[in-house]
Copies of this chain bind each other. A is one copy, B any other.
Amino acid sequence: MTPGDAPAGGLLLRRLGIDTYQEPVVYLHRDSAICKAEGFEARARIEVWRGATHILATLNVVYDSLIGIQQLGLSEAAWRALGGIDGDVLRVAHARPLQSLSAVRAKIYGRPLGAEAAAAIVRDVAEGRYSDIELAALITACSGDRMDVAETIALTRAMVAAGQRLRWDSGTVLDKHCVGGLPGNRTTLLVVPIVAACGLTIPKTSSRAITSPAGTADTMETLAPVALDLPTMRRVVESEGGCIAWGGAVSLSPADDMLIRVERPLGLDSDGLMVASVLSKKIAAGSTHVVIDMPVGRSAKVRSAQAARALAQRFHSVGGALGIGVSVIASDGSQPVGRGIGPALEAWDVLAVLQNLPDAPADLRQRALALAASLLELGGKAGAGQGRALAAGVLDSGAAWTKLQAICAAQGGMREPPRAAHTHVLGALHRGRLTAIDNRRLAQLAKLAGAPRAPAAGLELHAPLGTLLRPGQPLLTLHAESPGELAYALAYAEAQDTIFTIQQA
C-alpha cells in the first residue's frame, strides 16, 4: 500500500505524551470522519503515514475531548518511530493483512518453521509490524522444546539478514557472551579491556536486561554512554581495539530487540530463541569466534549438566551452520558473582577488580580471567594453557584498567556510577551456615528494589555460600532510588528463608 491509497483527507499530528511502553498506539476520536468512514474499532491495526515514513500501530478510540476530530494522537513509541511535530499532516489506512502471521499460526499448529517462513516473520517483526499479542504468540510458539536445530538455524539466519552486518579489517574478531541467570556475573567489563589491551579486536555489543536486574549494557551505561551509532562504534574499536556498546542502538538483529520487549514481561527464555538471539547478534557484529560463558546451577538459567550439554550442542550446531566458531565454557552457577546486583552496584565491583583494590571480589576476577584466557588463546596471543597468565598480568599491571578508561572516554566520556539514596541492611534471622541461595528470588528482590530501570538500585550480598552466620549478621544491603521501592523489596525480603537456606549448626 502506498500513501496514495490512504482514503479520505489527512489528520493533524498531536503528540499526546502517553508512554505505552514499546507498542505504538494511535488515538482517533470516535466521531472523526475517518473512524466513521473506515469503521475503525479499538485495537484495529492501522497504517499511519507521515510523508513517505509509515508505521503500523494499534488504535485506541477516544470518546472524550482529549483530542479533536481532525487530530491523530500518537503514543511516545509511535511518535519515536514516525517523528514529526504537532500539526503535521498524517494519513491513515487499514493495515494490510500481516501475511507472515499465517506462518506463526502454522508453527503453533505444529508445523516446523522453514527458512522462508522464518525470513518473512523476522522481516515483519524487525519492521515493528507485530503487535504485542502477536509477538507473545510467536515467542510462546518457539519456547520450551518447540524449536529444533534446523528451525533455530533458519531463525538465526533470518535475524542476521533483517539488520545491519558489520565488517572489520581484522581477520580475527573476538566476542564473548554469558547466557545469564547468574546475578552479578559482569565479566564483560573486565574481559574486553584485557583482550583489547593485548592488541586483539573485540567489538562487543551487549543487551539490556531481559528478565534480570541488570544487563551488561545497563551496567556499562553507568560508566559511559552505550547507545553508540555505527560510525562511533567503529571509531572506538579502531582506536582502542574494543568497545562495550548497546546492541539495540546499532540495528544488529533488530528483530531481537522487538522480541525482548515481550519476552521480558512474560519472563520467558528458551534454548532456541536464546541461541538465535545470541548468535545472530554476534554474526551481525562481524565476529569470527565467540566464547560462551554458561553458568550452571539449580537456580541459574541453565539448571543441570544435561541442560548445559543440550544448549552447548545447539550453540555448536547453529554456529557451525552459520560459520562462526563457538567455544562454550560451563561455570559454577550456584551463587551470585561479586557483591553487587544491579547496574551501578555491579559496576563498582568491576572497578574494584580493575583497580586491584584489596576488597575486590575474587570470584569475579577468576571468572573474567578464565574467559579472557580462552579468547587470548583463540586470538593467537597465547599458546594453549598460557592465556591465563597473560590475562592476569594485564590485570595486575593496571593495563586493563587503563584500557577500560580509554574505551569509556572514546565512547563519550567516563562517569562515576550513581549511588542509591535509600539503603537498608538485612540481617540473618538466626544462627547457622548459609548452604544455598536462590538466584532467581535474589534477582527478583533486586528488581523489586528498582533494578535495572533505576541504575543505582539493587543489592549488595555480604555472605557467600558456606558463611557461618550469627543472628543479625548482615546478609545483604538493599539499595533503592525511592522509598516505595525500598518498602516493596523489604516486604519481599521478609520471607528471607525462601531466598537463603541457613542450616542450623
Residues of A bordering B, CB below 8 Å: 7-8, 15-21, 27, 30, 34, 36-39, 41-43, 60-64, 66, 75-76, 94, 101, 105, 108-110, 131-137, 139-141, 143-145, 262, 265-268, 270, 450, 453-454, 480-485, 487-488
The answer to whether B20 and A42 have CB atoms under 8 Å apart is yes
The answer to whether B20 and A27 have CB atoms under 8 Å apart is no
Q: List the B residue with the shortest CB-CB distance to A262.
A: B133
18 pairs across A/B with beta carbons < 8 Å? A7-B484, A19-B30, A19-B60, A19-B62, A21-B42, A39-B453, A39-B481, A41-B453, A60-B75, A63-B76, A105-B266, A108-B140, A108-B268, A109-B143, A110-B144, A132-B133, A133-B133, A134-B266
A135 surroundings in chain B (CB, below 8 A): 133
The answer to whether A20 and B137 have CB atoms under 8 Å apart is no
Other than the known A21-B43, A110-B144, what 16 A-B pairs have Cβ atoms closer than 8 Å? A17-B63, A17-B64, A18-B61, A19-B30, A19-B60, A20-B43, A38-B484, A38-B488, A39-B454, A41-B453, A94-B488, A131-B265, A132-B136, A134-B136, A134-B266, A137-B139
The answer to whether A136 and B143 have CB atoms under 8 Å apart is no
The answer to whether B17 and A62 have CB atoms under 8 Å apart is yes
Check A133/B94 contact, CB under 8 A, given A7-B484, A63-B17, A453-B39. no
Cross-chain contact of A133 among B141, B144, B266 (Cβ < 8 A) = B266
The answer to whether A66 and B18 have CB atoms under 8 Å apart is yes
In the assembly, what is the distance between CA of A20 and CA of B133, in Å? 14
Interchain nearest-CB distance for A453 vs B (Å): 6
In the assembly, what is the distance between CA of A144 and CA of B101, in Å? 15
Check A60/B487 contact, CB under 8 A, given A39-B450, A133-B132. no
In the assembly, what is the distance between CA of A483 and CA of B7, in Å? 11
The answer to whether A109 and B144 have CB atoms under 8 Å apart is yes
The answer to whether A61 and B136 have CB atoms under 8 Å apart is no
A34 surroundings in chain B (CB, below 8 A): 484
In the assembly, what is the distance between CA of A42 and CA of B18, in Å? 9
The answer to whether B140 and A137 have CB atoms under 8 Å apart is yes
A63 surroundings in chain B (CB, below 8 A): 17-19, 76
The answer to whether B487 and A143 have CB atoms under 8 Å apart is no
The answer to whether B62 and A18 have CB atoms under 8 Å apart is yes
Check A64/B18 contact, CB under 8 A, given A8-B484, A262-B133, A266-B133. yes
Q: List the B residue with the shortest CB-CB distance to A141.
A: B140
The answer to whether A487 and B43 have CB atoms under 8 Å apart is no
Check A64/B16 contact, CB under 8 A, given A137-B139, A267-B101. yes
In the assembly, what is the distance between CA of A64 and CA of B19, in Å? 10
Cross-chain contact of A268 among B42, B61, B137, B482 (Cβ < 8 A) = B137
A43 surroundings in chain B (CB, below 8 A): 20-21, 265
Interchain nearest-CB distance for A63 vs B (Å): 4
Task: For the complex of A and B, list the 3 residue pairs with the smallest distance between their C-beta atoms, beginning with the closest.
Answer: A17-B64, A17-B63, A136-B136
In the assembly, what is the distance between CA of A487 and CA of B105, in Å? 28
A64 surroundings in chain B (CB, below 8 A): 15-18
In the assembly, what is the distance between CA of A37 and CA of B485, in Å? 7
Q: List the B residue with the shortest CB-CB distance to A137.
A: B140
In the assembly, what is the distance between CA of A7 and CA of B490, in Å? 14
In the assembly, what is the distance between CA of A42 and CA of B66, in Å? 20
A37 surroundings in chain B (CB, below 8 A): 482-484
Interchain nearest-CB distance for A144 vs B (Å): 4
A15 surroundings in chain B (CB, below 8 A): 64
A141 surroundings in chain B (CB, below 8 A): 140
Check A20/B60 contact, CB under 8 A, given A39-B485, A94-B488, A144-B110. yes
Check A19/B61 contact, CB under 8 A, given A133-B266, A137-B139, A137-B266. yes
Q: List the B residue with the shortest CB-CB distance to A449.
A: B39
A60 surroundings in chain B (CB, below 8 A): 18-20, 75
The answer to whether B7 and A18 have CB atoms under 8 Å apart is no
In the assembly, what is the distance between CA of A450 and CA of B37, in Å? 11
In the assembly, what is the distance between CA of A63 and CA of B487, in Å? 26
Cross-chain contact of A66 among B16, B110, B481 (Cβ < 8 A) = B16
A16 surroundings in chain B (CB, below 8 A): 64, 66
A42 surroundings in chain B (CB, below 8 A): 19-21
